[in-house]
């Protein structure tokens, strides 16, 4: 991989589309390249906001509107039983055509309304995207012993942090991952438990991370623990 080409991987990394080896190389690059770190943070924030697209059912009256329009709309052309030659009443033809177009137009408009109602942008806040896109967000990167990678974003203005993972393996039956916030004396405050997706990606919001001394991830029994029961897979210092 050339020095120039590595700068082109921000989008693929944000979408968790990099092979494991390239992902590790790019994570190390993020710690040294401010422009790539900034661009990657913006892309991840955008992807997080896209995740807020919420499927909602169409209003019940739209279905009835479509069905009524279908009932009024001829599905096949009429059979011509009279000679084509002769006088044609253009006014009646135009009236029929106008009614036909209006019916089809109503059906199409209703169908379009249904389609437009399927996906709408949620009104709820986006704390993950807000942290990543914050102007004061600091970025930290770490490689995990199993080949996975972690990127941590911390914002003092948002009073929180977000940690994203790629190529994180399944924790195993009866186990889960858990995040921890550590103070200067290594006292651990338990945070959320989580399981990665099938592709090994995950994102966790860490409330209060901006006040922590470091962040750690461990493997814990299902349901989580009040104190770490295993050696951290990674500890990221925020100092």
**Does residue 200 carry a pLDDT above 80?**
yes
Quote the pLDDT of residue 236: 94
Residue 68 confidence class, pLDDT cut points 50, 70, 90: low
The mean pLDDT value of the chain amounts to 75
Quote the pLDDT of residue 219: 96
In this prediction the pTM is 0.54
**Does residue 140 carry a pLDDT above 70?**
yes
User: Contact 171/177 with Cβ under 8 angstroms?
Assistant: yes
**Does residue 223 carry a pLDDT above 70?**
yes
Question: Structural domain boundaries of the chain?
Answer: 3-52+125-237, 54-77+90-121
Least confident stretch, 102-111, 113-122, 139-148 = 113-122
**How far apart (Å, rounded) are the C-alpha atoms in residues 45 and 134?**
9
**How far apart (Å, rounded) are the C-alpha atoms in residues 150 and 152?**
7
Quote the pLDDT of residue 15: 77
Residue 22 confidence class, pLDDT cut points 50, 70, 90: confident
**Does residue 121 carry a pLDDT above 90?**
no
Counting Cα atoms < 13 Å in the Cβ hemisphere of 228 gives 21
- Tens-place pLDDT, residues 69-116: 656 655 555 555 545 444 445 455 445 444 444 444 444 444 443 333
Q: Parallel, antiparallel, or unpaired: how do β-strands 138-143 and 175-182 relate? A: unpaired
Q: Percent of the chain beyond pLDDT 70? A: 65
Mean pLDDT of 214-223: 96
Q: Parallel, antiparallel, or unpaired: how do β-strands 160-166 and 234-237 relate? A: unpaired
C-alpha closest to that of 208 among 233, 188, 226: 188
- Identify the top-confidence range among 26-40, 52-66, 154-168: 154-168
DSSP 11-77: HHHHTT-S-HHHHHHHHHHHTT-HHHHHHHHHHHHHHHHHTTEEE-PPPHHHHHHHHHHHHHS-SSP
**Does residue 124 carry a pLDDT above 60?**
no
Mean pLDDT of 219-232: 95
């Amino acid at each position: 991989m050339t020095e120039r080409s590595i700068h082109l991987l921000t989008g693929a990394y944000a979408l968790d589309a990099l092979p494991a080896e390239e992902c590790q190389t790019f994570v190390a690059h993020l710690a040294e390249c401010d422009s790539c770190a900034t661009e990657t943070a913006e892309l991840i924030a955008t992807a997080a906001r896209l995740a807020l697209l919420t499927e909602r059912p169409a209003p019940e009256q739209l279905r009835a509107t479509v069905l009524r329009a279908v009932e009024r709309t001829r599905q096949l052309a009429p059979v011509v039983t009279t000679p084509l030659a002769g006088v044609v009443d253009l006014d009646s033809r135009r009236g029929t055509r106008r009614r036909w177009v209006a019916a089809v137009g109503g059906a199409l408009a209703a169908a379009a309304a249904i389609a437009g109602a399927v996906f709408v942008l949620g009104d709820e806040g986006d704390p993950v995207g807000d942290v990543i896109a914050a102007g004061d967000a600091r970025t930290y990167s770490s490689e995990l012993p199993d080949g996975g990678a972690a990127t941590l974003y911390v914002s003092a203005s948002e009073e929180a942090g977000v940690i994203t993972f790629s190529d994180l393996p399944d924790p195993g039956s009866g186990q889960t991952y858990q995040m921890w916030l550590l103070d200067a004396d290594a006292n651990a405050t338990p945070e959320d438990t989580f399981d990665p997706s099938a592709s090994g990606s995950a994102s966790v919001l860490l409330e209060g991370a901006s006040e922590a001394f470091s962040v750690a991830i461990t493997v814990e029994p299902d349901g989580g623990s009040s104190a770490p029961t295993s050696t951290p897979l990674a500890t990221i210092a925020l100092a």
